[in-house]
């Protein structure tokens, strides 16, 4: 196979961080090359250099054997190097066709938009991808999966020979992932080289030809995906063997009930839901996409209004009409979308940790005790092993796993009795996942009542003392921890289950 891209001895520094240390990487025509490593390993930095977002401090890049410089993303696009970021960069109020050719729209005389050609050119790209989509649809009205296809079409409109996909399946269900993989195989057959960044091991084995692993900004090695066991790839990533621990279900028969939910209803999304949660318990919520798990969490937290129902905390009814009411009642919520609802990305680590507890550290005229907050932030950085140059680092510069730990620190400082974790490990590598799992178990052992919502069934099984299953807005059953996957899926799809709910 021909080398489409070769990166040699790439070096990159940021203030206080040596992000890339003489890293090499190559990509061949017609292959899927997975790039793996823990959060903060340097994967995204390396690919941002290849796509012209960052400039390297050392090393060289060759495209089809010719050394090139990539001063801007547009320069990279001109050479056929396209990137699809984890956070999709689409204009939500524009149509599909307008998004694909934004800034390059075909024009008629006097600068008028040639809408017929715009739609025809976009239709030709989607036809090549074998995808049917309404080109006049506003992108904001599409599913995440369809938006992903629009991003791919946009990259192909530049005649990309290289596609970089950063966590492309993070928000997709199984059917949508299968659709994406069909597209990837078709592009691969046409000679397109694909760099695939993901933390999902099963995907890597299914779709990639080779795997390159990075750790702490350095190149570790490249292996053949088909021939290499997952355990070997994981040990390359983390530098050690990770042990899978079986869930230990504590005896909570005498424990106090921390949270009760009765008859929660909201339109067609939530239908008469009720359950209880004890101190020291981890209650996992399983279900297919659209089952209503996140909607339930947001309703309990006051982020979405409810039509009917009652919430009790420690046996006392509470009125929760807003997140402020929920926090006052001792409920914390870690959203599945931490960047939009959990963090202030432009602020530093210290400010983010203190965000939900500031009144405690302010005097009568509102002056903040900054030295106290600095000590608290440093304590949480050490306790949760948050990898950051210091508490003054902007949160947007941290890896996904470390951002998640900052959100957890925020709620731990607030000392909430009930913690709701919605997709706590989405976009997080295996090493950071193990740390999050350990932390959740420690919090439960300390008496915190925890709800974990996850689309990854092995994660639900690994963490949960009991498993609540939802389907189409209804709670279809509650199973004991360690339940069979078939019984969970039976309830998730409303088939008859042999397990007692």
pLDDT for 38 equals: 72
pLDDT for 2 equals: 63
pLDDT for 259 equals: 96
- According to DSSP, residue 241 is labeled P
Q: What would the DSSP string read from start to end of 64-122? A: TTEEE---SHHHHHHTTEEEE-SS----TTSBHHHHHTTT---B-GGG-B-HHHHHHHH
CATH number at 152 reads: 3.40.50.300
State residue 67 phi and psi, 5-degree precision. -70, 135
Task: Return d(Cα 96, Cα 35) in angstroms, integer.
Answer: 29
- 308-313 β-sheet, strand order: 270-278, 257-266, 308-313, 316-318
**Dihedral sign, Cα of residue 319, residue 322, residue 327, residue 333:** positive
452 in a structural domain: yes
Across 456-463, average pLDDT: 86
- According to DSSP, residue 464 is labeled -
Of 52-66, 167-181, 208-222, 431-445, the range with the lowest mean pLDDT is: 167-181
* Same-domain pairing of 175 and 317: no
* Same-domain pairing of 12 and 116: yes
Residue where the block lists tokens 């028969």: 253
* Same-domain pairing of 429 and 292: yes
410 in a structural domain: no
- According to DSSP, residue 247 is labeled P
**pLDDT tens track for 243-267:** 556 677 888 888 999 999 999 999 9
Dihedral (Cα; 109, 111, 114, 118), 10-degree rounding: 140
* Same-domain pairing of 498 and 462: yes
* Same-domain pairing of 131 and 195: yes
* Same-domain pairing of 220 and 96: yes
Across 183-206, average pLDDT: 89
* Token pair belonging to 71: 């001063």
Of 97-101, 120-124, 327-331, 399-403, the range with the lowest mean pLDDT is: 399-403
pLDDT for 188 equals: 92
Give the percent of the chain with pLDDT over 90. Answer: 41
Measuring CA to CA, which residue among 17, 13, 54 is closest to residue 393? 17
**pLDDT tens track for 101-118:** 888 888 888 888 888 898
* Token pair belonging to 375: 């000590």
425 in a structural domain: yes
Q: Where among 175, 205, 238 does a domain terminate?
A: 238
Query: Which residues, in sequence order, are bridge partners of residue 188?
Result: none
Task: Return d(Cα 335, Cα 341) in angstroms, integer.
Answer: 6
pLDDT for 498 equals: 41
Number of domains in the chain: 2
Residue 461's domain comprises 255-330+416-501
Number of neighbouring beta carbons within 10 Å of residue 331 = 28
* Same-domain pairing of 138 and 226: yes
* Same-domain pairing of 227 and 260: no
* Same-domain pairing of 156 and 56: yes
* Same-domain pairing of 184 and 268: no
Measuring CA to CA, which residue among 120, 125, 174, 173 is closest to residue 150? 125
Reported pTM: 0.60
pLDDT for 243 equals: 55
* Same-domain pairing of 307 and 453: yes
* Same-domain pairing of 300 and 438: yes
């Amino acid at each position: 196979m021909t080398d489409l891209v070769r990166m040699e001895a790439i070096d990159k520094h940021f203030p206080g961080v040596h992000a890339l240390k003489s890293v090499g990487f190559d990509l061949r025509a017609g292959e899927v090359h997975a790039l793996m490593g823990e959060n903060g390993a340097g994967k995204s930095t390396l690919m941002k250099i290849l796509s012209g977002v960052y400039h390297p401090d050392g090393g060289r890049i060759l495209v089809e054997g010719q050394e090139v410089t990539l001063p801007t993303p547009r320069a990279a696009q001109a050479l056929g190097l396209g990137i699809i970021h984890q956070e999709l960069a689409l204009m939500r109020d524009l149509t599909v066709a307008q998004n694909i050719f934004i800034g390059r729209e075909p024009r008629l005389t006097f600068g008028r938009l040639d809408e017929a050609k715009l739609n025809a050119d976009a239709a030709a790209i989607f036809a090549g991808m074998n995808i049917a989509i309404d080109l006049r649809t506003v992108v904001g009205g599409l599913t995440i999966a369809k938006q992903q296809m629009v991003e791919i079409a946009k990259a192909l409109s530049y005649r990309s020979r290289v596609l970089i996909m950063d966590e492309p399946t993070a928000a997709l269900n199984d059917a949508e992932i299968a659709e994406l993989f069909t597209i990837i195989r078709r592009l691969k057959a046409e000679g397109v080289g694909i760099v695939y960044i993901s933390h999902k091991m099963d995907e890597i084995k299914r779709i990639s030809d080779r795997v390159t692993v990075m750790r702490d900004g350095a190149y570790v090695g490249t292996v053949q995906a088909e021939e290499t066991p997952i355990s070997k790839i994981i040990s390359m990533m983390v530098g050690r063997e990770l042990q899978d621990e079986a869930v230990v279900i504590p005896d909570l028969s005498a424990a106090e009930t921390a949270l009760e939910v009765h008859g929660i209803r909201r339109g067609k999304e939530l239908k008469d839901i009720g359950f209880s949660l004890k101190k020291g318990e981890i209650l996992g919520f399983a279900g297919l996409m659209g089952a209503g798990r996140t909607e339930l969490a947001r309703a309990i937290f006051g982020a979405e209004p409810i039509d009917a129902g009652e919430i009790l905390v420690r046996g006392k009814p509470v009125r929760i009409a807003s997140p402020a009411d929920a926090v006052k009642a001792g409920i914390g919520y870690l959203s599945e979308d931490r960047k939009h609802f959990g963090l202030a990305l432009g602020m530093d680590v210290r400010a983010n940790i203190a965000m939900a507890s500031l009144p405690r550290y302010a005097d009568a005229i509102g002056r903040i005790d900054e030295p106290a907050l600095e000590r608290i932030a440093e304590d949480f950085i050490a306790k949760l092993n948050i990898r950051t140059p210091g508490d003054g680092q902007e949160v947007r510069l941290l890896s996904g796993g470390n951002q998640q730990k900052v959100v957890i620190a925020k709620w731990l400082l607030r000392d909430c009795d009930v913690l709701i974790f919605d997709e706590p490990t989405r976009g997080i590598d295996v090493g950071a996942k193990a740390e999050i799992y350990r932390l959740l178990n420690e919090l439960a052992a300390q008496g915190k009542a925890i709800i974990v919502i996850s689309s990854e069934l092995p994660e639900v099984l690994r963490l949960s003392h009991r498993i609540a299953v939802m389907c189409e807005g209804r709670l279809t059953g509650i199973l004991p921890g360690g339940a069979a996957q078939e019984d969970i899926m039976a309830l998730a799809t409303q088939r008859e289950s042999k397990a007692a709910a």
